[in-house]
């Protein structure tokens, strides 16, 4: 289970969330520097985020 703590929410149907941290079933915490969620009506249409875990950085994109 992944839990997001959202610190900043901007715009009405485009949510831009920064400084998001999530904890997975591991001792380390993965820091998400930038997470952008686009919503049309009640449907989640796209999700973009940048993960930094230690020295490794990954960018992920998902769209329906």
Q: Where are the domains of the chain?
A: 14-63
Q: Looking at per-residue confidence, does 32 or 20 come out higher?
A: 32
Round to whole Å and give the CA distance between 22 and 30: 6
pLDDT tier for residue 10 given thresholds of 50, 70 and 90: very low
pLDDT of residue 24: 44
Q: Look up residue 58 and give its DSSP letter.
A: E
DSSP string, 5-53: ------SSSEEEEEEEEEE-SSSSEEEEEEEEEEEETTEEEEEEEEEEE
pLDDT of residue 41: 61
Round to whole Å and give the CA distance between 20 and 6: 6
Q: How many Cβ atoms sit within 10 Å of the Cβ of residue 41?
A: 7
* Residues 21-64: tens digit of each pLDDT: 444 444 444 455 556 666 566 666 666 665 555 545 555 555 54
């Amino acid at each position: 289970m992944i839990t997001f703590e959202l610190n900043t929410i901007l715009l009405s149907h485009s949510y831009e969330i920064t400084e998001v941290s999530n904890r997975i079933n591991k001792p380390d915490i993965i820091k998400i520097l930038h997470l952008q969620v686009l919503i049309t009506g009640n449907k989640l249409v796209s999700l973009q985020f940048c993960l930094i875990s230690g020295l490794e950085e990954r960018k992920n994109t998902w769209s329906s």
